[in-house]
Amino acid sequence: MKVLVIWPPHVPSYFNAGHHSPLYMTAAYLRTQPGAHEVVACEAGLLNMNWKAVGDLLFQSDFDVIAVMNDFDAVDGIERFIHYARELSPRSRLMTFGRLSNMNPGFFTALDLDAVVVSGDFECGVADYVNAVAGGGPVLALPGTFVRAGAEWLPPSGKGRFLPPEEWVMPDVGEIPYRAYDQLYAQDTHKFCGIPFRRELVVPVSRGCPIGCDYCDVHQIFGLSERRLPVDAVLAYVDECFAREPFEYIAFYAPTFTLKKQWVRELCDKLIAREEKVRWKCATTVHHLDEALVAKMGESGCVRISVGLETLEPAGHGALPRAKQIEEDQFRELGRWCREAGVELNAFVIVGLPGTTAQGVARTRTVVEESGARFRPTVYTPFERLDPAMRLEDINRYNRQTFLDDALEPGTDREPLYRYVFGVEERITKVHELIPLHAERVES
């Protein structure tokens, strides 16, 4: 089978390289399946490809199956892509997978597709459909996937499968367009998650999260139980990738990186024991950090810890799980730990969270900056409002940058809130100065 796994062209409203790793993990997993599928991974959503180039790929390649990755930030290109695929590669079966189809499957079953992955790990749903098509007979009901049968949709035969970590297949860094990633991270005023002027290796570490924040999709897609790779497997992948490409730091990609503190201590000890220091960053919660752990992380090469602070306004704590209800003194103490460890603290703050005000956001920002931390705002987005009948323009508003209708209290002035997200940003990170440039990139 000849398979294309693609992220369609679009103008990204936000960029986090970790969100893109499922594209490459799905392609890599397909290559391990019986039948030795020929798989092409194409990430065209980075302002790096035009529609003519995508058309050339579709027309010249004659794919058997095209698996389109969807996301809250990429859906505006999907209808145009489906048109190109049907017109230029009419024999291909079209399917989609990703965060948005898991959260709002009905939107995608209204499109001209042959299959929609709606639960379980993405690579399982894609592989099950590709393998069924390869079998040559009619494709019947599959776990975690809607399948089109004529004018009807067959519902999933059951919940989609979750892979144990030992069956994950890590991304092949040789097919990832890092120059485009570098460009998207270069402007720090955008407050994207990467570090400007340095090349990032994303290392997927875990899936699932037991915290269960209402405004987060992780636990709804990947479950409340965390699955995590062994430390040695993580480091083996790091070594392999650093030997192939000029990476300068690692982003350990996990919903709550320090959820298992003993795992983190083991990783840090093994990094400290290495002759050459490796710089890295992660994301976690304030609740899952302590002074000794932060110190050890800094000693091992950690340069940035991002935390889901959300708000310091007590009136907003009702919208948060207990582990996220952080007091001002608690955050200031974390700021001190990070400063002493030589680690940049990056605070994710939700603007418009129920119960909060513009004045409360201002106070949260003041405490964040007085603590020496980086303020990273995003707009409150209630995912529970997703509806199968939504139009494309409605779906596009779930990218955490503009408010949904009625998401705020009546009469709320949005302009002061938007100022935090889109206003002039004068505090620019300097953390890249802690990360040496790779010799190969210095010469180029």
**pLDDT confidence tier of residue 444, bands split at 50, 70 and 90:** low
Residue 81 CA from chain centroid, whole number: 22
- The token pair at 405 is 């209708």
In this predicted structure, what is the pLDDT of residue 443? 64
CA distance 66 to 60: 14
Measuring CA to CA, how many Å separate 195 from each of 98, 171, 218, 429? 25, 20, 23, 8
Go through the chain and tell me how many residues it has. 444
Task: For the chain, give every residue range classified as CATH 3.40.50.280.
Answer: 2-154
> Which CATH superfamily, name and number, covers 2-154?
Cobalamin-binding domain (3.40.50.280)
pLDDT at 277: 95
Where in the chain do CATH 3.80.30.20 domains reside?
186-380+413-443
pLDDT digits (tens, 9 = 90+) for 43-68: 999 999 999 999 999 999 999 999 99
Render 133-202 in DSSP notation, one character per residue: HHT-S----BTTEEEEETTEEEPPSSPPP---GGG-----GGGS-HHHHHHHHS-GGG--SSPTTSPEEE
Q: In whole angstroms, what is the distance from residue 256 CA to residue 324 CA?
A: 12
Banded model confidence at residue 205, pLDDT cuts 50, 70, 90: very high
Q: At 249, give phi and psi (nearest 5°).
A: -160, 170
Q: What is the pLDDT of residues 206-255, one digit of tens each?
A: 999 999 887 888 988 999 999 999 999 999 999 999 999 999 999 999 99
Can you tell me the distance from the alpha carbon of 298 to that of 317, in angstroms, rounded to the nearest whole number? 30
Query: Residue 440 above 90 pLDDT?
Result: no
pLDDT, tens only, 123-148: 999 999 999 999 988 898 999 999 99
The Cα 57–Cα 267 span in angstroms is: 42
Each residue of 149-163: pLDDT tens digit? 999 999 999 999 999
E strands, 90-130, are 93-98, 115-117
pLDDT at 398: 86
pLDDT band at 72 (very low <50, low <70, confident <90, very high): confident
One-letter amino acid of 317: H
Listing DSSP states for 2-64 in one string gives EEEEEE-----S---HHHHHHHHHHHHHHTTSTT--EEEEEE--SS---HHHHHHHHHHH--S
The rounded distance, in Å, linking the Cα atoms of 143 and 138 is 16
Helix (H, G, I), strand (E, B) or coil at 244: helix
Q: Tell whether the model's pLDDT for residue 371 goes beyond 90.
A: yes
CB 301 within 8 A of CB 311: no
Q: Which amino acid is at 318?
A: G
Tokens of 271: 């990094």
Domain 186-380+413-443 has CATH 1.10.8.10: no
Segment 87-112 shows an average pLDDT of: 95
Q: Is 117 within 8 Å of 145 (Cβ atoms)?
A: yes
Rounded to an integer, the average pLDDT of 325-329 is: 95
**What proportions of the chain, in percent to the nearest 5, are helix, strand and coil?**
45, 20, 40
Sign (positive/negative) of CA torsion 127, 132, 134, 139? Answer: negative
Indicate whether 442 pLDDT > 80. Answer: no
Percentage of the chain modeled with pLDDT above 70: 100
In this prediction, residue 194 carries a pLDDT of 94
Q: How far apart (Å, rounded) are the C-alpha atoms in residues 51 and 94?
A: 18
Are 433 and 199 in contact by the 8 Å Cβ rule? The answer is no
State which H helix or E strand residue 335 sits in: helix 328-341
Q: Comparing 196 with 391, which gets the higher pLDDT?
A: 196
